[in-house]
Amino acid sequence: MSEHEIFVYSSYALGALILAVLVIWLWVDRNATVKELARLEDMGIRRRSDRSDSSDHSDATAKADGIVQ
């Protein structure tokens, strides 16, 4: 093993660690938000779009998106 190999392996190990932490955080966040939405729906709270029968509703919301922050 050359004296420089340790720097190469350390780079790849730290690179994998940084990306793994990011991916795990995204996965944990995904599970938490999915659970929270399911919990709220179980409580009987519905989003406006779920209450609307109109198929044009999403288009109307999209228009609103352009003007409402």
Interacting residues toward another protein by CB under 8 A? 2-5, 7-8, 10-12, 14-15, 18-19, 21-23, 25-26, 29-30, 33-34, 36-37, 40-41, 43, 45-49, 51, 58-59, 61-69
Q: How far apart are CA 59 and CA 64, in angstroms?
A: 9
Q: How far apart are CA 45 and CA 37, in angstroms?
A: 9
If DSSP codes are grouped into helix, strand and coil, which group holds residue 42?
helix
Q: How far is the CB of 53 from another protein (least distance, A)?
A: 15
Q: How far is the CB of 59 from another protein (least distance, A)?
A: 8
